[in-house]
Every structure is written in C-alpha cells, then in structure tokens.
Amino acid sequence: MAVVREITFAEALNEALDYEMSKDPKVVVMGEDVGRYGGIFGVTKGLIEKYGEERVRDTPIAESGFIGTGVGAAASGLLRPVVELMFIDFLGVAYDQIYNQAAKMRYMFGGKAKIPIVIRTVSGAGASAAAQHSQSLHALFIHVPGLKVVYPSTPYDAKGLLISSIEDDDPVIFIEHKMLYGIKGPVPEEPYSIPLGEADVKKEGKDVTVVATALMVHRALEVANKLEEEGISVEVIDPRSLVPLDEETILNSIKKTGRLVVVDEAYPRCSFATDIAALAVNKAFDSLKAPVKLVTAPATPVPFSPALEKEWMPSTEKIEKTIRDVL
C-alpha cells in the first residue's frame, strides 16, 4: 500500500461531510454553530463557505425542534439531513424525536417510510467538562430498536463510517469521542465506505479477547502492546458499529481465546458492556474459561475535578489489572 497522508479525526469527518454534500444536493447540515463557526469542535469547518447558508444551517437552541425537523425532512423524501447534537449529554431534550419518532416511523408505518437522517454527536470524559458534558450514553441508543449506532475509534474508520452512515437509508447515531478529535492517522484522500456492522480486529491475539469502544480501543491497545512483551497475547476488537453488531467476529474470538474483557467508558448497568457479557454467556458459554470481566465507569455521574475524573474513567491500569485477573 502506498503511504497515505495523516490527518486528524476531525478532519477525516470533515472530508466525509464535504464529499457527501458535493455529491448529493439533498444532504444538508444543521445544528448549533455548524455554520461560520464550523462547529465547536471544528468538524463542519468550511462547509458553509462551500455550500451556502441554505444547506448549512445554524439553529437556535431547540434540539427537539431541529432534530424533529430533520426527521420530517428525511421522512418527506426531500432531504438527507446530517444534524449535530452538540453533546450527547443533551439527548434528553430531544430524545423523543430520536427514539419514538425517527427510530419507529418505518416500523409503525409498515415499512413504508425511509428516514435517512444522521445525528452526529459528541461523547466522552477527559476534558473536565463535568456531569452534563462528559457522558458516554451510547447504551441509550442501542437499547431502543430502530437506530443504527456508530462509534469509531480512528480517523480512517471515522471517514469511511460517516460516508456509509449518510448513504444509509435508516437513522444513524454517529458518536464522536471528544478526546479523539485531535488524534492523527492515515486516511486516503478519495472517498471510501466501511459497511455498518463490521467489527475490526485492531490487534490479533490468542489468550484473551478484549472488546473496546472509541477512546477505550486506544487504551486497550496500549495495554495489549505492553502485555505482548510479557508474552501475553491479547486480541482487541473494535465493533465500530454497535447497532448492527458484528456478533460473529466477537463470538469467534471468544471461542478462540476462552476469555473476555469488555472495556467501555460508560455507566455500568444495562450497558454495552453487559450486552457483550450476556452475548458471551449465552452463545459462547462452553468456550468460557474464566468469568467475563467488564471495565466500565462506576455508577456515578462524571465528576468535574481532574483528580476525580481520572479515577472515574477506565484507565490503562484498570484494564491491565482486569486482563491479568482473567488469565
């Protein structure tokens, strides 16, 4: 493979948006400060200059209103909106439009509606943004049927998955971890798509399976590389899309290693972590050689102080200790 240039996660997303807007006039971008400001994390930079105010729309603070507007626009068949919810923490002021409207319309209408909307949003702790700007709430979108949920960990995946998401005819929640925007990685200049529902084995291994999401993929890899030196072989799987979920890749890995650790920066109960544990104990029970362990945040809000937030997040130390525990 030829050497590809490295760009940031945020730039990769911007390229995907730019490509889709250039290709399909039905694609519009809406949200708070997505216009000249370029989005508060810079993801929509330059779009308004290129595609104009009609297609790149700054909105008032009215998330239920403007996400609902996106849903209606998608249902009408006239547009394919990409709507930004500035922080995933704000889902509570627009949740009905997402899980009761966008997610259910097709089913309620007997398969007659298509709802091609992408809701881009930002999750994650690590920026001392405190209890209402640091959450990882993907479980709330996984739980309710009818939404596809994408949560990439690398610039490469981010671009390919965002392109697929915009081209998908179903509602997609596209989650971006705020601590990943600045990381760089190789990203081809030309457009490409990564199918939703395909996990990526970020590192092969044979002793233990680690399923991790977003920022936690990086922490898991850090630990895996360290343990490698000791001769412990860790397989790190990034599901990339949480709905649909690539059960097969995960189950095959567990069958190979017999051990499972899930690393998920989220509240522990009714979570993606419990989901994968349940999958394992149901469908790979005979292969399991040890308890399934989950490295999650505790069941508390996210504290503000860096001294506390660090403890709240799943750390490489905790990941390492947990992996050792199941060996």
Ligand X SMILES: Cc1ncc(C[n+]2csc(CCOP(=O)(O)OP(=O)(O)O)c2C)c(N)n1
In the complex with ligand X, the residue whose CB is nearer, 64 or 274, is: 64
Q: Are strands 234-238 and 200-203 parallel, antiparallel or unpaired?
A: antiparallel
Using alpha carbons, select from 320, 245, 258, 246 the residue that is nearest to residue 292.
258
143 in catalytic set: no
Please state the separation of Cα 278 from the chain's center in Å: 21
Helix, strand counts (H, E) of the chain: 12, 14
Q: Does 306 bind a second copy (CB under 8 A)?
A: no
Residues 291-320 that bind another protein (CB under 8 A): 293-296, 298-301, 303-308, 310-312
Does the protein bind ligand X through residue 84 (CB under 6 A)?
A: no
Smallest distance, Å, CB 96 to ligand X? 7
Q: Which amino acid is at 145?
A: P
**Residue 312 interacts with ligand X (CB under 6 A)?**
no
Which residues, 48 to 67, sit near a second copy by CB under 8 A?
Answer: 64
307 binds, among another protein, ligand X, a second copy, none (CB under 5 to 8 A by kind): another protein
Instruction: Give the whole-angstrom CA distance, residue 318 versus residue 91.
Output: 29
SS3 at position 176:
strand
Q: Which residues, 86 to 105, sit near ligand X by CB under 6 A?
A: 86, 90, 93
Q: Which stretch binds another protein (CB under 8 A): 6-14, 163-171, 178-186, 227-235?
A: 163-171
Cα 160 to its chain centre, rounded Å, is 13
Of 211, 90, 107, 225, residue with least CA distance to 151: 211
Contact call for residue 62 and another protein (CB under 8 A): yes
Task: Kindly state the smallest distance separating residue 304's Cβ from another protein, in Å.
Answer: 3
Quick one: which H or E segment has residue 225?
helix 215-229
Locate 99 and state its tokens.
């899980």
Which one of 40, 93, 201, 251 is in contact with a second copy (CB under 8 A)?
A: 93
Q: Which is nearer to another protein, 74 or 180 (CB)?
A: 74
Q: Which residues pair with 134 in a beta bridge?
A: none
Q: Which residues contact 210 (CB under 8 A, 6 or more apart)?
A: 220, 224, 234, 235, 236, 237, 260, 261, 262, 263, 319, 323
- We find the least distance from the C-beta atom of residue 61 to ligand X, in angstroms, to be 5
Contact 88, 132 (CB under 8 A): no
> Which listed range, 153-161, 164-172, 175-183, 285-293, lies at the site for a second copy (CB under 8 A)?
285-293
- Smallest separation, CB 2 to another protein (Å): 30
Interaction partner, residue 5 (another protein, a second copy, ligand X, none; CB < 5-8 Å by kind) = none
From candidates 36, 143, 255, 318, binder to a second copy by CB under 8 A: 143
Catalytic residues: 133
Contacts with ligand X, residue ranges (CB under 6 A): 32, 61, 63, 86, 90, 93
